[in-house]
Homo-oligomer: A and B are copies of this chain.
Amino acid sequence: MKTYGVIMAGGGGTRFWPLSTKAEPKQFLNLSGKESLINETIDRQEGFIRKEDIFIVTNEMQVSLMLARTAGRIGRDHVLAEPAARNTAACIGYAAMEILRKYEDGVMCIFAADHHIRDKAAYTRTMQEAVRTVQKTDALVTIGILPTFPSTGYGYMRHAPKKGQLYHEVEEFVEKPDEETARAYLAAGRYAWNSGMFVWKASTILDYYRKLLPDVYECLARIGDAMGTPEEQEVLHRVYPTIPKISVDYGIMERARGVLMLEGDFGWSDVGSWDTLDSVRKKDARGNIASGDTLLMDTDDCVIYAGEKLIAAVGMKDTVVVEGRNAILVCPVREAQRVKQVVETLEKEGRFDRL
């Protein structure tokens, strides 16, 4: 049975503004100093998925940029273009339908385009295990990450750990907790981070859609029926924007029986914002993460990303300084999440020259 990869890469990704912009979303950024997140994601699967079996789902506007930036890794027919953003259930369902109708049923591994994984060998072993299980069963496997700190930035899955078993049943999906709750989760030892990585058969997930998300399924079926016909694009553009907006977590994972959690412990992070950049990039001896042409004097625990200019930081502490193509951000590290407010303000003011 074939193993496919499906990378969800449609995000506008402005959490790394002003480095990430509408024209250059997060997945294209080279935050690690090695490769872009999208190319790292593609290359990371080489141990268990053939490159020609990887699909990328993105939006129409990003297709040509995606092909350019992935530099021959992915063929045009494996870049699926959503006519509209309809949340993850639509996105995954579309990919599953494409696989079933144009290729053959197989194991689908779902990834986000903007995660970082430190230990690739451990990652490959975990994913190989998940693929083996899904090949033999109709399980919906979700990868739960062993938490290493009380993160308030991730969703959690409560599970019942069973000694000697690889897989645990998920009892509950819980939203991002506050700090105190996160500490309690970490101490309890039965909460894992919800990585958003899933493994299942294309046919299995569509069966679940039919049962649990019939409205979504009906749309996908109409799109699937047109696949390979001259009407494919017309139907896709007419129907896709009407697919109910729902996430696969909420629509399927929280409601399906048979969800198995496989524990992952491979240095996963979702590279959420400037304040969590240390997950992808080593700090220097003074706690700084510096990229590009920088000159640091008496500067500690800062994140400094220079673009075409030199950034000279003198006597700075705990501050993010980022030079993008159209804008410069300066804020305390602990307030880096507020970049969202900046982006919202600029959007409200129609300042697209700065986005």
In the complex, how many angstroms separate the beta carbon of A316 from the nearest chain B beta carbon?
Answer: 6
| 282-298 of chain A: CB within 8 A of chain B | 293, 295, 297
B330 with A311: CB separation less than 8 A: yes
Q: Report B-chain residues with C-beta under 8 Å of the C-beta of A269.
A: none
A326 with B312: CB separation less than 8 A: no
Cα of A326 to Cα of B306 in the assembled complex, Å: 11
Q: Report B-chain residues with C-beta under 8 Å of the C-beta of A297.
A: 338, 341-342, 345
Q: Is A315 an interface residue (CB 8 A)?
A: yes
Q: Report B-chain residues with C-beta under 8 Å of the C-beta of A68.
A: none
Q: Is A332 an interface residue (CB 8 A)?
A: yes
Q: Per a CB cutoff under 8 Å, which of B310, B321, B326 touches A310?
A: B326
Cα of A294 to Cα of B307 in the assembled complex, Å: 18
A314 with B295: CB separation less than 8 A: no
| 303-355 of chain A: CB within 8 A of chain B | 306, 309-316, 319, 321, 323-324, 326-332, 335, 338-339, 341-342, 345-346, 351, 354
Q: Report B-chain residues with C-beta under 8 Å of the C-beta of A341.
A: 297, 314
Q: How many residues of A contact B (CB 8 A)?
A: 33
Q: Is A93 an interface residue (CB 8 A)?
A: no
Q: Report B-chain residues with C-beta under 8 Å of the C-beta of A335.
A: 314-315
In the complex, how many angstroms separate the beta carbon of A160 from the nearest chain B beta carbon?
Answer: 42
Shortest Cβ distance from A354 into B: residue: B310
In the complex, how many angstroms separate the beta carbon of A305 from the nearest chain B beta carbon?
Answer: 11
B330 with A330: CB separation less than 8 A: yes
Q: Report B-chain residues with C-beta under 8 Å of the C-beta of A306.
A: 328
Q: Report B-chain residues with C-beta under 8 Å of the C-beta of A329.
A: 312, 314
Cα of A331 to Cα of B304 in the assembled complex, Å: 13
B326 with A295: CB separation less than 8 A: no
In the complex, how many angstroms separate the beta carbon of A171 from the nearest chain B beta carbon?
Answer: 39
Beyond the given pairs A295-B345, A312-B330, A319-B330, 18 more chain A to chain B contacts, judged by CB atoms under 8 angstroms and listed by A's residue number, are A18-B312, A295-B346, A297-B345, A309-B324, A310-B326, A310-B327, A310-B328, A310-B346, A310-B351, A312-B329, A314-B331, A314-B342, A315-B335, A316-B319, A316-B330, A316-B332, A321-B328, A328-B328
Residues of A within 8 A of B (CB): 18, 293, 295, 297, 306, 309-316, 319, 321, 323-324, 326-332, 335, 338-339, 341-342, 345-346, 351, 354
A-B contact pairs, 20 of them (CB 8 A): A18-B312, A295-B342, A295-B346, A306-B328, A309-B327, A309-B328, A310-B327, A312-B327, A312-B330, A312-B339, A312-B342, A314-B331, A314-B332, A314-B339, A315-B332, A316-B330, A316-B332, A319-B330, A321-B330, A330-B330
